[in-house]
Chain A
Amino acid sequence: MQGKHWISALALTAGLTIGGAAFAQTTVRIAWYSDGNEGEVVSDLLKRFEAQNRDIKVVLDQVPYKAITENLPVQLASGQGPDIARVVDLGGIARYALDMRPYLKDAAYWEKNFGPFLPWMRPEGDSSAITGFMTQLTVTGPFVNKTLFEQAGIAMPGAKATWEDWGKAAKDVAAKVQAPFPLAMDRSGHRFFSVAVSEGAKVLDDKGEPAVIDDGFKRAARRVYDWHQSGVMKKELWGSVSGTAYRGANDEFKNAQVVLYHSGSWQIAQFDKTVGDAFDWVAVPSPCGVGNCSGMPGGAGLVAIKTTKSPEAVAKVMDYLASEPVLSEFYARSLFVPGHLGIAAKGLDYKDAGPQAKAALKVFSDQVAELSPVAYKLQGYVNNRVIFNAVISRLGQAISGEGTLDEAYKRIESDIAQQIAERKK
């Protein structure tokens, strides 16, 4: 009799264990920052994924941008990071990235559709790993308050207009309509280099090492510096803070205080939502310098992290998010330029976008073809943020009156050399 009890208890325990195992979930944690509504969109998509894959629970940690640029690297270095992260410093994070090839359903699909962007997310010296995909491809470029031009009775410069043309036109418009900011540019090295590359800057030498200060760079630096002296640009952005701090003028643009705002395609969704029909705004092709008319490519990548304890589950989530129908919906609802070649070739129907946003998305998508190889090379350079940060810090000092441009050039070179040497120790 007692033996029967033991058998029943054993069977019950085994049943509970097997049942429990059937409902056991692997948790995949994603660190995600948002510029616009993309956090809501991906959250919707992940709920669908969880409904189809009951064995995987996805936790989406929505964090500020600063947490991604400053806290995440420390977390990853300590081995305490998330399983997947949405990052902008692709080169800096690459050494913590997981090569997902052994776990992906179809690695060839990834090669085919994300090919040009995969090297941006690979560790130095690696030429084959697949670590993630671009949640958005961004292109820098100017937004123009068309209403201010109309009110001033001044014609907007044409498609191949130069930076000089736009600077002059913006200043004339601002003077006529009493706008406080004729031309505003984000305090960001990435934005500065769209001017510098179009002015002919090469940035890297033949060996791929930094050779930042050349004639093209100096032309761009001189232009930005002179714009501040002549009032085309105001010191509130570049001259008001120190070091590597980012400052944007999106709030000023939304309040119709800026004639031309040099930023990038990621601003479209918020301008579409917040400006509404308060004034007419347009995106215009990247202005030309003496070298070309290139902007800077960039964007945010969703990268798998190698410290994950569940690489199979991570790859499953990534496969799902990178699949064409899911990614098409993500790009379309977030109003992002696609970083998937197949989707880009077919074109996207941005159903939720207003007419101004749709027109802006077309301008930025067309700009992809105009991007200079130098711009791509710089974007893929692993230490590009070292260069960007040195430039905004030192150029910012010169603009605010602390030293000359020549002194800034010397400091930029030494800052870059020191930081790269520190990394190599």
Chain B
Amino acid sequence: MASVETKPQPEGAGVAGLLAAPLALLMRLVDGPMRALQRLIGERRMAYVFILPNLAFFSLFVFLPLVINVVFSVTGGAGLFPSERPFVGAQQYGYLFDCGSFLEPSSCREDHFWRGVSNTARFTVFQVTAMVLFSLLTAIVLNMKIRARGFFRAVYFFPVLLSPVVVALTWKWILQRDGLLNAAITSIGGERILFLVDPSWAMFWIVFVSVWAHMGFYTLILLAGLQAIPADLYEAAEMDATPRWRVFWRITLPLLWPNMIVVIVLALIKGVQTFDEVFVLTGGGPGTATLMIVHYIYETAFANQVQNFGLAAAASVVLGIVLFALTLAQLAASHRKGAA
């Protein structure tokens, strides 16, 4: 382990020096004990010492809640502490999977869970498809030498900075009965449309708002990928008079594919987890047309008078398994690409 030495400060480094001084002091203080520890446990084991703080944080705030969640999923009753809750084995999972037909939510004991599964699946398919397409299109345009390119890059990224609740409330204001959109429609003689009361419109708008709000982030990833493609490949294609669509299929898309995988998998995971925007915008309605799995978990655990933590925990575990599978798929896809 390298020792910390105090170097003479160059003139004019006043503020930086002031800021660095406490750090240097701290380093000097820990230097001795760390050296002693290294002598005691050996240089190789020091790596574990360095990852220990992060591991402790992860264990306390991620791993422990995960274990508690699994424990809750095999208990019943309305008690809050595990000691107050009777062990019921796989009963909560049994309730979730008690279905006449998994394709018909109304035949299930927990029909709202399966409506949530069905809605989340539909939402994810539409949202991820739209997200990837529009992000790619936007990234390609923003990669061209267009006027005010920096301004447009900022504009497309701006919604990402907004809180999901602000996004949803803004769009609610636009889409409601007397909202901005209906005002525009009626001003040109059209009929008012109840966008958030019609099930098909409600699903369309939650997908639209989600894409609008998050597209900037995925565009940024794809833009970084596009900028990493060597320019000489395009120059060679131009010299060969290769058509533009062929350049896209043969050069751009294959070289952008690693970034595309990241975008698809991240969008997929975010899609399955979606809650806040939809909760504020449609409240899961009309009926249960936009009820998502996470919304079901929240309702089951907190909104009912009898807070059914066991059932909500079981649904969370099922959702966790789905997300874990998606993460594994991402890792497998990344490795395959890396190996190729």
Contact = CB atoms under 8 A, between A and B. Distances in A.
A401 B285 CA distance: 11
Contact of A244 (B80, B177, B194, B304): B304
B303 A244 contact: yes
B46 to A, nearest CB: 40
Contacts of A180: 177
B338 to A, nearest CB: 43
B196 A240 contact: yes
Interface residues of A, number: 37
A123 to B, nearest CB: 14
Given A241-B283, A396-B287, A407 B303 contact: no
A245 B197 contact: no
Contacts of B81: 77-78
Contact of B286 (A74, A240, A243, A423): A240
Q: Find the residue from B77, B282, B304, B305 having the highest chain A CB count within 10 A.
A: B305
A240 B197 contact: yes
Given A389-B304, A397-B288, A423-B306, A242 B78 contact: no
Interface in A208-235: 235
Contact of A74 (B80, B197, B287, B290): B80
B76 A407 contact: no
B215 interface: no
B197 A243 contact: no
Contact of A425 (B86, B283, B303): B86
A241 B305 CA distance: 18
Consensus secondary structure, chain A interface: helix
A245 B112 CA distance: 14
A77 B287 contact: no
B289 interface: yes
Contacts of A71: 302
Q: How large is the interface on B (under 10, 10 to 19, 20 to 34, 35 or more residues)?
A: 35 or more
A310 interface: no
B286 A400 contact: yes
Contacts, number: 112
Interface in B234-292: 282-291
A241 B106 contact: no
A243 B77 contact: no
A24 interface: no
A272 interface: no
A74 B301 CA distance: 10
B284 A241 contact: yes
B282 A241 contact: yes
A235 B284 contact: no
Contact of A389 (B88, B177, B305): B305
Interface string B53-85: 000000000000000000000001111110000
Interface in B289-325: 289-291, 295, 299, 302-308, 310-311
B289 A78 contact: no
Contacts of B287: 239, 242, 396-397, 399-402
Nearest to B77: A425
A244 B288 CA distance: 11
B159 interface: no
B289 A243 contact: no
A243 B305 CA distance: 12
A92 B177 CA distance: 36
8 contacts: A73-B307, A180-B177, A242-B283, A242-B287, A242-B290, A243-B303, A402-B289, A422-B311
Interface of B: 76-81, 86, 88, 106, 111-112, 177, 194, 196-197, 199, 282-291, 295, 299, 302-308, 310-311
